[in-house]
Amino acid sequence: MHFMKKYLLPILVLFLAYYYYSTKEEFRPEMLQGKKVIVTGASKGIGREMAYHLSEMGAHVVLTARSEEGLQKVASRCLELGAASAHYIAGTMEDMTFAEQFVLKAGKLMGGLDMLILNHITYTSMNFFRDEIHALRKAMEVNFISYVVMSVAALPMLKQSNGSIVVVSSIAGKMAHPLVASYSASKFALDGFFSSLRREHGVTNVNVSITLCVLGLINTETAMKATSGVFNAPASPKEECALEIIKGGALRQEEVYYDSWSWTPILLGNPGRKIMEFLSMKSFTFDKLISS
88 near 114, Cβ under 8 Å? Answer: no
Rounded Cα distance between 275 and 9, Å, is 12
Rounded Cα distance between 91 and 107, Å, is 16
Question: For residue 32, which amino acid is it?
Answer: L
Question: What residues contact residue 148 under an 8 Å CB cut-off, 6+ apart?
Answer: 193
Residue numbering of the annotated binding site for substrate:
170
154 near 116, Cβ under 8 Å? Answer: yes
Residue numbering of the annotated binding site for NADP(+):
41-67, 92-93, 119-121, 183-187, 218-222
Among the listed residues 166, 170, 143, 167, the one whose alpha carbon sits nearest the alpha carbon of residue 259: 170
Rounded Cα distance between 262 and 197, Å, is 28
Rounded Cα distance between 199 and 206, Å, is 10
Q: Which residues are known catalytic residues?
A: 183
Rounded Cα distance between 257 and 248, Å, is 9
